[in-house]
Amino acid sequence: MNKEMTEMTMKIFRQINPSRRAVMIGIASAAAVLPLAGPALALSETQATAHVEKLVAAINKVIASGKSESQMIKEFEKIFVKYSDVKHLAGYALGVEGRRASSSQKKAFTKAFQGYIARKYGKRFREFIGGKLQVLSTKTVKSHVEVKTMAYLKGQSPFDVTFFVHEKHGKPLFYNMYIEGINMLLNEQREIGAMLDKRRGNIDQLIKDLKTAG
């Protein structure tokens, strides 16, 4: 990745959430790119690619709808729930703290997290107006499929976005994505961890604040 692309990528993530972390949870590991344990891969590269193409088309449809930002965010949350493995994303973001969370807390956190993600990333989707996301290649890696795309935005150099797709409950779902090599899932785990630290480990308070964050 050249210097220009690195600076642009970090700019995108800073714009997504301008607040800087004072505390980092160092739980980074190879698990950040692995799906939950499950049966042998039944998902084909064609299915994974089609899933990502439908996801992109759904996002573009909302962007072109002319709806208000608040209405668009609601639509993006529906898209997120439909096309992603929300439980996996939320569980990973909560990290080791999830071990002490009750079932009701985990459920409430997952609900709050999906709204948080929709607001946080939905606000950035406006950048795709007049642009496009093009699928370049797919490859199977162990029990998931990686779908590499290239984002073309007006006034910016193209950058790659890779979706990680696995099969869950008999259907394809994306459970992570990399933007120029930056791991969204790990980034969210760190963000959520910092938020929890600021609340002295109070999961209920984190859930309450997450409902309006992003």
Predicted confidence at residue 41, as pLDDT, reads: 56
Summarised one tens digit per residue, pLDDT across range 166-209 is 999 889 999 999 988 899 999 999 999 999 999 999 999 999 99
Tokens of 146: 């990686």
Nearest by Cα to 132 from 156, 110, 114: 156
pLDDT tens across the length of the chain (214 residues): 444 444 444 444 444 433 322 222 222 222 233 333 334 457 899 999 999 999 988 988 888 887 888 898 999 999 999 999 999 999 999 999 999 999 999 999 999 999 999 998 887 776 777 777 888 999 999 889 999 998 888 788 898 999 999 999 889 999 999 988 899 999 999 999 999 999 999 999 999 999 998 7
Contact (CB, 8 A) for 161 and 140: no
Helix, strand, coil shares, percent, the chain, to 5: 55, 20, 30
pTM (two decimals): 0.75
Predicted confidence at residue 180, as pLDDT, reads: 87
Predicted confidence at residue 15, as pLDDT, reads: 45
Predicted confidence at residue 164, as pLDDT, reads: 96
Predicted confidence at residue 14, as pLDDT, reads: 44
Predicted confidence at residue 28, as pLDDT, reads: 28
Predicted confidence at residue 21, as pLDDT, reads: 29
Domain ranges of the chain: 3-10+43-210
Yes or no: is domain 3-10+43-210 CATH 3.40.190.150? no
Residue 130 CB partners (closer than 8 Å, separation 6+) = 154
